[in-house]
């Protein structure tokens, strides 16, 4: 089995992944679901990324599809920690970097300190 980073952050899309990569300072793996997950796709992610044995963080949009995905992932990954963006921003990709950094840091994910000023 391939060695993985301890932490994995699950997001919906590539723009979310880009926004998070801007602010994190540690080598956490970021997985895009590209929307909702079918059983087969989820099982593939579970196996390929060894999600049962890693620190998993769920960071999805605060809209209907994101909330549905969060509920689905909560059932499948009960050990996952949830990170929320304000409903004022609705999307991870449009959340200001300093706000996103504060939320990530609050979940013990190392961020670049320039975003915490």
Task: Please state, as a whole number, how many other Cβ atoms lie within 10 Å of the Cβ of residue 6.
Answer: 11
pLDDT in tens, 67-115: 999 999 999 999 999 999 999 998 999 999 999 999 999 999 999 999 9
Q: Is the pLDDT of residue 4 over 80?
A: no
How confident is the model at residue 38, as a pLDDT? 86
What DSSP string runs through 19-74?
A: HHHHHB-S--EEEE--S---HHHHHHHHHHTTGGGSEEEE---SSHHHHHHHHHHH
Residue range 7-95 forms a domain whose CATH class is alpha beta
Q: So what's the pLDDT on residue 10?
A: 97
Residues 6+ apart with CB under 8 A from 68: 36
pLDDT for position 36: 73
pLDDT at 92: 97
Q: How far apart are CA 72 and CA 88, in angstroms?
A: 23
Q: pTM for this structure?
A: 0.92
Residue 5: pLDDT over 80: no
Per-residue confidence (pLDDT) for residue 1, from 0 to 100: 40
Q: Encode pLDDT of 8-48 as tens digits.
A: 999 999 999 999 999 999 999 999 998 778 888 899 999 99
Where are the domains positioned within the chain?
7-95
């Amino acid at each position: 089995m391939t060695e993985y980073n301890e932490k994995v952050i699950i997001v919906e899309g590539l723009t979310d992944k880009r926004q998070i990569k801007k602010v994190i300072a540690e080598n956490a793996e970021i997985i895009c679901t590209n929307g909702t997950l079918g059983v087969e796709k989820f099982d593939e992610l579970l196996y390929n990324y060894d999600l049962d044995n890693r620190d998993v963080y769920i960071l999805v949009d605060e809209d209907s599809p994101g909330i549905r995905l969060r509920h689905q992932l909560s059932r499948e990954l009960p050990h996952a920690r949830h990170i929320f963006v304000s409903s004022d921003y609705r999307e991870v990709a449009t959340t200001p970097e300093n706000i996103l950094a504060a939320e990530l840091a609050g979940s013990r994910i190392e961020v670049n300190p320039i975003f915490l000023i």
